[in-house]
Amino acid sequence: MRQLFLFLAVAFCLVGTAKTEVKDSKTNYAREALQPYVDRGELPGAICIFYKDGVQETCCIGYADVEKKRPIRLDNVFMQCSQTKGFCGVTIAKLVEQGKISLDDPVSKYLPEFKELWVQDSDKDGVKTLHKAKNVLTVRMVLNHTGGFPFECSAKRRDVRGGGWSGGAPLRQVASIAAGSPLLFEPGTKTTYSNTGIDIGAAVVEVVTGMKWETYLKKEVLDPLGMKSTWFWPTDKQLKTQIEMYDVKDGQPAKYRLENEWEQRPYNDGHVFASAGAGLWTTAQDQLKFYKMLMNLGMGDNGVRILKEETVKSILAESTRPANLGGYSLGLNAPVKDGENEWFGHGGAWGTNCNVNWHKKQLRLWVVQINGGQPWNKAVDKAAEKFFSQTIDSDRLNEYTGRTK
């Protein structure tokens, strides 16, 4: 009996930690679509991944550094900018799941400075007219951009050296500055895309956990998923492999760009503060681990569960906004009402994006570092359509290995 018990215990552990097996699709839809743009020099380099129920097409095309002819690779670090917001959403979702936070709690329950807020009515000749906010600001509102906060607070002005997404101030200080500044509208009544709101959500996490937000993120999400290359301060060694930034204009060769004012060099010194609204560096390999976890409803490809299925379905894969204010959940673009053809995920300022469909076990990941438009988008969309419409081999290895609650 004791031997049987030990056998069952070991078997359960193996099921709970088994890794997902991924099969190569043997297709080149993305490469065929993108090659003309690379050949003309319009597209410096890109990573495009299509995934469908255990089968994956991986395309690394062009260069991470055009001048040095350094090929773009899955392990090159890059700035994912606003895709950081989804990471904050996951940390909030974990605390909701544990009963430590309610999305409808007043933010002032955790950050007392938000108890009295003021809404700006007008700004004429430098004189602001305000009224005391009537609506209570909730945790839900700061995470879904209905809180009334501007894009960034004064501590992160991009026209000041050291400002920007990764510079400026610690999260708790950002929250305090935001609490003392006028809101753009009554909380919960409109939408304005706001890094500040997401940073306030991260400050709530700090109060509840007693840890810096980035420390909690690393402990509860990054490390369990094996995301060893994702952090706010890339090492000097990592930066030697970074995907460089380029200015892009339709029909013209891409031009190298040293930096953007929102995220300034040096990228890992004392002027850099963690920001939940934007700021994480990562690699395509690591980013896949995070988004596949969302696609698998909280289960990492390595068999580690980050969130319960219902948590992902209810507050990450579906909008948390009022019905008339569009789709957005907690740091993630999400449908108003989830359905089989609905995707959720997020994009970043330098052209990156990743979206998943948990019903069909599908994923689209796109990595570039560009400033400007993306004239190849329609070609990539057609490539994705070809990939997702193909018949997947039904004798594949079990893609959903390790599914435990």
pLDDT along the chain (405 residues), means of 10: 42 48 94 98 98 97 98 98 98 98 98 97 86 98 97 73 67 95 97 97 98 98 98 96 95 90 80 92 98 98 98 97 96 94 96 97 98 95 96 50 39
Q: Is residue 10 part of a domain?
A: no
What local confidence, expressed as pLDDT, does residue 223 receive? 98
CA angle 58, 63, 65 (to 5 degrees): 140
Question: In angstroms, rounded to a whole number, what is the distance separating the alpha carbons of residues 88 and 317?
Answer: 14
Q: Is residue 331 part of a domain?
A: yes
Q: What is the DSSP string of 133-164?
A: --SPPBHHHHHTT-S---SS-GGG-TTSTT-S
Q: Is residue 349 part of a domain?
A: yes
Tokens of 296: 């698998």
Q: Is residue 297 part of a domain?
A: yes
Structural domain harbouring 275: 21-389
Q: Is residue 13 part of a domain?
A: no
Q: In angstroms, how far apart are the furthest CA atoms of the chain?
A: 84
Question: In angstroms, rounded to a whole number, what is the distance separating the alpha carbons of residues 363 and 57?
Answer: 10
What local confidence, expressed as pLDDT, does residue 33 receive? 98
Q: Is residue 402 part of a domain?
A: no
Q: Which of 88, 204, 194, 90 lies closest to 145 in space, CA to CA? A: 194
What are 282's strand-pairing partners? 78
DSSP state of 316: T
Q: Is residue 144 part of a domain?
A: yes
What local confidence, expressed as pLDDT, does residue 128 receive? 85
What local confidence, expressed as pLDDT, does residue 306 receive? 98
DSSP state of 307: S
CB environment 108-124: b (16+ within 10 A), e (fewer): bbbbeebeebebeeeee
Question: In angstroms, rounded to a whole number, what is the distance separating the alpha carbons of residues 240 and 367?
Answer: 18
What local confidence, expressed as pLDDT, does residue 193 receive? 97
Q: Which of 239, 233, 354, 240 lies closest to 286 in space, CA to CA? A: 354
Q: Is residue 397 part of a domain?
A: no
Tell me the backbone φ, ψ of residue 197, rounded to 5 degrees: -60, -40
For the chain, how many structural domains are there in total? 1
- Domain with residue 354: its CATH number is 3.40.710.10
